[in-house]
Structure 1
């Protein structure tokens, strides 16, 4: 019996499993249910024998993923109930992407912001439309990713650039992301799907066991970040319960500038 999902789409194609966040009305922001479904989808993809690749994307033309859905951040208990140290198992999803034996390609057609930027970072490869935008917003909305989103990002783009990304919360074009090493290739918007499929087809011709070993080998060098993430998320749990963090969420939902200083 095929698995039915509400927040995502799952399809096994000729050259890749396609996992797509299907919440375009909120720029593919994720809630608890989205994360739970993505974890299951990546575990299913890990067991799929017919292909070597996962193409991970977002529905619509506007966004790959814009991180956590701030409209439900303060109140969500989700379909499955809160799980994980911060109410949703985001660190478990990050591990599912890294632990998947398939090559995971991030297909970025629009905004990859916040948690979406982290997803693009930890995927094995990233192919972007010329319309794509990358960046962090955590400190603007009372949030942070204290593991793969910071320490692993620094390994990819360098310490100085990673600190700039988090401390200034700017947005970067696809070409800027390519120049800093966050993206493997930038193509015209209408060529994005064909390019992702071409890469998947090339990878699909290779030995799945050799690819899995290579991926495990790459991951081993940065595996200590999983421990950093565990400790960091424990700290974030306390931070999310603070009025300073809640002010960021309130301000975002009220479309105003946050006043963090009165709570610091």
Structure 2
């Protein structure tokens, strides 16, 4: 299988999936997400693979979410009533359901939809220059599924509300302190540390790990239905003037003006 937007490598029981769009800070378009899905499915079905690493090319960004160039008049191109034109729900579900541990190797910015990708991984290791955060309410978007409900399981509901309701960005050290990631290492040692963790996992019982992952997921599987509902609502929201204001402000590099929508709920 040839990939254009990602790199997919296998080495000694480890699958390394890399978002390979460094010129746009590894933001994803539809092609990217579809290739990620194919790679995760292939790694999940390969009996020779025991651990999956997810990272981004370069040292500036892990992933900063959806590529704004894919944006159309009513959201991302190719949207339907149940999605936003990017099969991100399928990707999120696959990362959670693939019967092998998935480690996010965060090598820079993990923002928006890219931040949610590292949230749904089983473990996360970051470089010291990594930056984490959500941006949805600043640009007329949201993730009311795994990006909110599951995030609250990781960092606590009060902190999760802060992350979404203030749209601040957090350093790797702050992320570690709040329980968002597992470890920080120097950028030059990041992949070596990720391989070290992967090799520790490879020495463990694969069937036991599969059942442990399924058990952890069972406790939060109700978020699956919430995520489907949320992305369906997000598709409709993208067609509103309120969402368009956030997106246009981002494109024009100005602060959005949401004041006219403050007391109106009918646009939803």
Q: TM-score, normalised by structure 1?
A: 0.95
Measured on the aligned residues, the alpha-carbon RMSD in Å equals 1.4
Contact 1:142/1:244 (CA < 8 Å) preserved in 2? yes
Structure 1 unmatched ranges of 5 or more: none
SS of equivalent to 2:151 = helix
Aligned partners of 2:34, 2:248: CA distance in 1, in Å?
25
Aligned partners of 1:31, 1:220: CA distance in 2, in Å?
30
1:51 is the counterpart of 2:49:
yes
Aligned counterparts, 1:185-200, within 5 A: 185-200=183-198
Contact 1:56/1:104 (CA < 8 Å) preserved in 2? yes
Aligned counterparts, 1:53-72, within 5 A: 53-72=51-70
Query: How far 1:57 sits from its partner (Å)?
Result: 0.3
Selected match of 1:167 from 165, 168, 171: 165
Contact 1:71/1:253 (CA < 8 Å) preserved in 2? no
Moved more, 202-211 or 168-177: 202-211
The CA deviation string for residues 38-79 of structure 1, in whole angstroms up to 9 with x for no partner, is 11111111011112110000011100000111232226876x
Aligned counterparts, 1:81-96, within 5 A: 81-82=78-79, 85-96=83-94
Aligned partners of 2:227, 2:171: CA distance in 1, in Å?
27
Contact 2:110/2:118 (CA < 8 Å) preserved in 1? yes
Aligned counterparts, 1:214-253, within 5 A: 214-253=212-251
SS of equivalent to 1:29 = coil
Query: How far 1:97 sits from its partner (Å)?
Result: 0.4
Contact 1:74/1:246 (CA < 8 Å) preserved in 2? no
Contact 1:146/1:228 (CA < 8 Å) preserved in 2? yes
Q: 1:55 to 1:134 in 2, by over 3 A?
A: same
